[in-house]
Amino acid sequence: MLRNLSKLNNRQFFRNNRNYTHYFTTPIFYVNADPHIGHLYSIVVTDALARYSKLANPNDEVVYSTGTDEHGMKVQQAAAGLNTTPKELCDRISGKFRDLAKAALSSHTDYIRTTDDQHVETVHNLWNTLLANGYIYKGVHEGWYAVSDEAFYPESGIKEMFDNSTGETYKVSIETGKRVDWMSETNYKFKLAAFRLRLIEWLENNPEAIQPRTQYNAVLGALRNEEAAASDLSVSRPRSRLEWGINVPGDPEHTIYVWVDALANYLSVASRHNAWPADVHVVGKDIIRFHAVYWPALLLASNNSLPRTILSHAHWTMNGSKMSKSTGNVVDPFEVINKYSADVIRYYLLRVGGNLSNDADFKPNELDLKYKSTLQAMLGNLLSRISGKKIVKRVESAQQYGLSIDPTDSEKALYEKLKVLASKYSASMERFELGKALEVIEDTLHEANRYFTKLEPWSDKTPIEECAKGVLYARETLRIVGILLQPIMPEKSRELLDRLGLEQSVRNLVDAELNLSLTQSLQIKPSRNVLFPPLIA
């Protein structure tokens, strides 16, 4: 029975009943090569959403999984090329992905590997259910196969290419650009075509099921194309050709298709927490078909509920060009985290790449500028200003005065922005518009710094009462911003809120409303430490 999602908006999704389990997933990452910036981006997007869910629902359980996809032809070939075994290669590369998640401050509850015994059991159970329900049969499968994609493509999904240097004519997938070769073999097939109309109905009744809208339209359009969506899915490979994979139960001559194996990881994790269905699957746009067509069909065929949202993000280029190791145009995620800190890289990736529909461009100079102009000059500097000895001393002497918290003309613009900051931020996060959520924070910080600079509370010419009120507004800005930045910059936001003396119990989303109370707002401790120190070359 399908979960009725059409009446649930995003706000209800992130703010559900108490004791509800929220489940977020990254794609599991393929171990034929080292981690790159796209993998880091998937982790950061998922982690920010999972942390935001906890910020909005502190009494609920949040399950968040990541991990590695370790079977298939690409791994088998990569291991052979490195003169090692597939298992040794998987152990080494999976360790790097685990290290990346840790370096990125990922708050995942589960790290899954598809070579885990429990996962193999889940895959076998899924296969046996599909078989018992009559959706798997044995037959001859022919088509254009891309080893790099581990996928077959129909005739309408390929195009011819010509290599000028060799004079060779060959074919590639239109969707991914990867080379394909004609292949014919006997294997097991899944009755994918039987679910075309049910998938269309699911999407028509749940227009938020695939985000962003451009991807929703593309998937729905492909499903409505009866000719393109009429093929069944090959779900096994002869073991003579693919040894590195999970065997088909009862048939040692066949290996289960790597995508059936990989997609089942979400059920493997869910079974540990009783967390199904998933609230958000975060995936790259290049694997949307597997998650938005194959996966829902497999779930329907095995009597499982469908995920709430499949969130597809775009890719990253560097300085306007496609990233490529051969040209040196790549970003090492470990290097940039080491140089800038995980918090800063998280902020940059979500601010620049927060519009998930469009490819984002990684520009080192822009990253430096964002660090200096936003994080240092606006956020860090505002904290340093109210922590200066002279201002702290002036504010302490103002405690005897009765200050009015009503905004004057000079404070009105900042007051209005602070009043709606939390709601605007939340609305953006709940629409998966992470870049816009950070944009509204930056806009408020800009206004707070403009107001504070114009006030000059450090000047002896500024009355003590006005100095105290300026600190009151600046501290309230930092308090709200610090709470809202917890899903984005977990360590720096913790440091900021600690400096403000904010207790852990009042750091939830509900606490981010404007509250110009004098009880705590003027208790600032002087400090020489800076939140964002100068970058080291």
For residue range 438-489, what is the model confidence (pLDDT) as tens digits? 999 999 999 999 999 999 988 889 888 888 888 889 999 999 999 999 999 9
- In whole angstroms, what is the distance from residue 276 CA to residue 306 CA? 9
**More confident: 241 or 292:** 292
Residue 49's CATH number: 3.40.50.620
**427 CB-side CA count, 13 A:** 8
Domain-located, residue 324 = no
Average pLDDT over residues 485-506: 95
Q: Kindly tell me the burial class for residue 406, based on how many C-beta atoms sit within 10 Å of its own C-beta (0-12, 13-18, 19 or more).
A: exposed
| Average pLDDT in the chain | 89
On whether both 85 and 98 belong to a single domain, the answer is yes
- Look up the CATH number of the domain holding residue 503: 1.10.730.10
Sorting pLDDT into bands at 50, 70 and 90, what band is 6?
very low
Cα–Cα separations (whole angstroms), residue 385 to 98, 177, 444: 39, 53, 17
Top-confidence residue, 249 or 8: 249
pLDDT, residue 523, reads 63
Residues 6+ apart with CB under 8 A from 316: 37, 38, 41, 323, 331, 353, 359, 360, 361, 362
What residue spans of 104-231 are helical by DSSP H?
117-132, 196-205, 213-224
Contact between 104 and 42 (Cβ < 8 Å): no
pLDDT at residue 356, as a whole number: 92
Both 149 and 228 in a single domain?
no
User: How many structural domains is the chain composed of?
Assistant: 3
pLDDT of the residue at 180 = 83
Domain that holds residue 183: 137-190
Q: How confident is the model at residue 179 (pLDDT cuts 50, 70, 90)?
A: confident
Q: Kindly state whether residues 75 and 222 are assigned to the same domain.
A: yes
Question: DSSP character for 278?
Answer: P
Q: Who has greater pLDDT, 421 or 231?
A: 421
185 and 198 both lie in a single domain = no
Average pLDDT of the residues in 319-334: 80
Please indicate, yes or no, if residue 42 is contained in any of the structural domains: yes
Among 173-187, 340-354, 500-514, the least confident range: 173-187
Residues 374 and 496 both lie in one domain:
yes
345 is a domain residue: no
Residues 273 and 376 in one domain: no
Nearest Cα to Cα of residue 7 among 198, 205, 197? 205
529: its two tokens = 């430490």
Residue 537, pLDDT score: 66
CA distance 170 to 228: 22
Q: What is the mean pLDDT of residues 323-344?
A: 87
Residues 286-301 have a mean pLDDT of: 97
Percent of the chain exceeding pLDDT 90 equals 69
Structural tokens at position 443: 């806009």
pLDDT in tens, 370-406: 999 999 999 999 999 988 888 877 777 665 555 667 7
Looking at residue 521, what is its pLDDT? Answer: 55
Q: Are residues 217 and 283 in the same domain?
A: yes
State which of 279, 313, 347 marks the end of a domain: 313
Whether residues 175 and 83 fall in one domain: no
- Amino acid 285: pLDDT: 95
Q: Is residue 63, in this structure, part of any structural domain at all? A: yes
pLDDT at 511: 96
Model pLDDT for residues 397-413, shown as the tens digit of each residue: 665 555 667 788 889 99
- The predicted model gives 205-225 an average pLDDT of 95
Q: What pLDDT, on the 0 to 100 scale, is given for residue 444?
A: 98
Is 186 part of any domain? yes
Q: Are residues 65 and 164 in the same domain?
A: no
The proportion of the chain whose per-residue pLDDT surpasses 70, expressed as a percent, equals 91
> Are residues 229 and 300 located together in one domain of the fold?
yes
Q: What pLDDT is attached to residue 109?
A: 98
**pLDDT in the model for residue 322:** 81
Please compute the mean of the pLDDT values over residues 513-537 and round it to a whole number. 75
> Which one has a higher pLDDT value, 167 or 363?
363
49 band by pLDDT with thresholds 50, 70 and 90: very high
Predicted confidence band of residue 81 (pLDDT cuts 50, 70, 90)? very high
Q: Which residue has the higher pLDDT, 142 or 345?
A: 345
Q: Is the pLDDT of residue 145 over 50?
A: yes
pLDDT of 13 higher than 70: no
> 161 falls in which pLDDT band (50, 70, 90)?
confident
Both 215 and 175 in one domain: the answer is: no
Choose one of 248, 281, 313: the last residue of a domain.
Answer: 313
Identify the CA nearest to 317 among candidates 327, 331, 336: 331
Which of 190, 205, 234 terminates a domain? The answer is: 190
Are 232 and 192 within 8 A, CB to CB? Answer: yes
pLDDT at 325: 67
Flag whether 354 is in a domain: no
Q: Is the pLDDT of residue 148 over 80?
A: no
pTM for the structure as a whole: 0.90
Model pLDDT, residue 397 = 64
Residue 17: pLDDT over 90: no
Q: Does residue 5 sit within a domain?
A: no
pLDDT-based confidence at residue 169 (cuts at 50, 70, 90): confident
CA 358 to chain centre: 15
d(C-alpha 62, C-alpha 21), whole Å: 6
Q: Note whether residue 506 is domain-resident.
A: yes
Q: Are residues 184 and 258 in the same domain?
A: no
Ranking 173-187, 287-301, 396-410, 412-426 by mean pLDDT, the lowest is 396-410
- Specify whether the CB–CB gap between 60 and 53 falls below 8 A: yes
| Mean pLDDT of all residues in 87-108 | 98
Q: Is the pLDDT of residue 185 over 90?
A: no
Per-residue pLDDT for 505 more than 60?
A: yes
